[in-house]
Amino acid sequence: MSLTSEYIQQRLQDKFGEQVGSFEQPYGMLTFEAPKEINLKVLNFLFDDPHLQFRFLTDLTAVHYPDQTGRELAVVYHLHNLSANVRLRFKVFTDIQTPDVYTASGLFSAANWMERETYDFFGVNFVGHPNLKRILNVDEMDYFPLRKEFPLEDQTRIDKDDAMFGRG
Amino acid sequence: MKDQHIKLPEGSIEKTTTTLNLGPTHPATHGVMQNILELDGERVVSTEQTIGYIHRAFEKLAERRPLYQITTLTDRLNYCSSPINNMGWHMTCEKLLGVKTPKRVDYLRVIIMELSRISDHLICNSIVGVDAGAYTGFLYVMQYRELIYEIYEEVCGARLTTNMGRIGGFERNFSDVAFQKIEKFLKEYPVVLKEFEDLFIRNRIFMDRTKYTGGISAERALNYGFTGPNLRAAGVDYDLRVHQPYSSYEDFKFNIPVGNTGDNYDRWLVRQREMWESLSIVEQAYRKVQDFKGKEADVYHADAPAYYLPEKADVYTKMEALIYHFKIVMGETEIPKGEVYHAVEGGNGELGFYLISDGGRTPYRLHFRRPCFVYYQAYEELIKGSMLSDAIMTMSSLNLIAGELDA
């Protein structure tokens, strides 16, 4: 049987019922979300189910939506079933006060650094991660730079001179 | 031996391993990254990698830039094959915007992307040689990377950080000189590549240094998110050019070389084999481009007036062109709302762009899936228990590019 989006959706709904939802297919990629409490159950099911076999973690990142109260941070997993060549996108939303999401690093070794990166930039606390510390930024940093409230430099500022670039 | 030991203060615990800092700047790291190795004699006990020395916050910067200005950021990811990054980014935009590119543009892109792949693999493979002590090959092939860079220069004016192409195609048509240089490359390069290969492929010293070192099983490689030549060396025939063809790759005939042990030697062989395949693709694409006749032979961009800069002459004479020109340059074109993931087969593997647009003029969020970043975390597992010198070879045969690690 070919692994169509409808079939994947059906299987997920059979297993998790109402808990999985928001099924969409933007640009042909099946996208859905689940509560953050069951993210590992969903990932495990996608990994182990003999018909689904999503065993390759392509990408893991987060997105910050400051306007959605209670679901400010979205953790996005891109999974790939290499033998059937099907991709899907799985999202869990979390509030920004307690951004605790279970780590996927036990299931995918690749998730280790990806989660560290996500923590580094968004402050998502991956519960159970073996080594959750900053990866690209300095350890002393006390903010999460990819959150929307962190401003980029004002493009119109004029107080910069050569000394700021190590010259002059 | 016992009485030769330095007397330690009372109650202190003797450390039995040596800590060695490899990097951040070290000739063997080929980029700015640090490895803190714990050594027992000459064997690696454990390692901790520190990256981020050239982190430039591209993902944050991209949130303020119109699409065309992000191309320059992608240059600086894998700077050994920037055109692939550029084209990958343009294709992501085209997917979001729904721009369809003409066949000739696809073929021209294929030529450039495959030349970049050759230059990328060429550097990696010759550097593996340098790290093993064989400098000759590196110096010898350098003149053909130079020729590839001359082709870039002819096409876009730049050599390393190319900023090549536009959304919808190229900024200008390929010149005759560019085609002559491609022809020259096709004619001369196979001989050189063969000679380069002969220097290494059955070389006793090289084989002893690379075989059975830094190996990884297919299962572990997949779990670690390996892609590209490093995954194929472990025996998995996953290649985006075949599995999710973009830019008309389905029109070309080529093989996916695979290894089986995933060790340094297999990685080297896979890259070497891929260069031959790339060469054949360039040749096929070049023939296909030559087959376009008449009006079709001058097509070098798609018809996407809202995103592709109009001819300068039109800007001065036509109202519509002037408006588009202004809107594009000032970054005032609204991007349709959407969420798209597009990946291309970069020099090191699956280079993905995850772009979310909320309907504004700049991306709401852009994430780069950098293959280097993903597979470098396997380094500890690859070198644990091996000799220090093998760790060096493993690092160079993984083809770590600092720009891609850090983004």
Summarize pLDDT for B69-100 with one digit per residue, the tens: 999 999 999 999 999 999 999 999 999 999 99
Q: Which regions in chain B score pLDDT beneath 70?
A: 1-6
Is A131:A115 a contact under the CB 8 Å cutoff? no
* B53 at A interface, C-beta within 8 A: no
Residues B347/B84/B89/A144 CA torsion (nearest 10 deg) = 40
CA distances from B92 to A102, B191, B223 (A): 31, 36, 26
Residue B359 forms contact with A (CB below 8 Å): no
Do A114 and B378 make contact, defined as CB atoms within 8 angstroms? no
How many helices (H) and strands (E) in chain A?
3, 7
What does DSSP assign to residue A38?
A: G
Q: Which among A57, A76, A136 has the least Cβ separation from residue B51?
A: A136
Judge: A76–B354 Cβ closer than 8 Å, yes or no.
Answer: yes
**Gap between the Cα atoms of B337 and B260, Å rounded:** 44
Q: Could you count the other beta carbons within 10 Å of the beta carbon of residue A138?
A: 8
Of B225, B343, B364, Cβ closest to residue A110 = B225
Cβ within 8 Å, pair B378-A109: yes
Domains and CATH numbers, chain A: 5-153 (3.30.460.80)
> Which positions ≥6 away from A43 have C-beta within 8 Å?
A77, A79, A90, A104, A107
Question: Tokens in use for B406?
Answer: 């850090």
Question: What's at B313, amino acid-wise?
Answer: A
Residues in chain A: 168
| CA-wise closest residue to A122 among A61, A35, A36 | A61
Q: Which B residues in the span 287-326 are in contact with A, Cβ-Cβ below 8 Å?
A: none
Residue span of the structural domain in which B325 resides: 59-406
Q: What is the ipTM of this complex?
A: 0.92
**A61 touches B354 (CB < 8 A):** yes
Contacts of A29 in chain B (CB under 8 A): 341
- The pLDDT tens digits for A28-60 are 999 999 999 999 999 999 999 998 899 999 999
Nearest-CB residue to B369 (from A59, A85, A89): A59
- Give the number of domains in chain B: 1
CA B11/CA B181 separation, integer angstroms: 71
CATH of the domain at B125: 1.10.645.10
The length of chain B is 407
Cα(B34)–Cα(B180) distance, integer angstroms: 43
Q: Residue B279 CA to chain centroid, in angstroms? A: 17
pTM over 0.80: yes
pLDDT digits (tens, 9 = 90+) for B115-167: 999 999 999 999 999 999 889 899 989 999 999 999 999 999 999 999 999 99
Residue B29 belongs to some domain of the structure: no
Contact B288, B269 (CB under 8 A): no
Give B24's contacts (C-beta < 8 A, 6+ positions apart). Answer: B32, B33, B34, B50, B53
- Report pLDDT for B3: 58
Q: B406 and chain A: CB distance < 8 Å anywhere?
A: yes
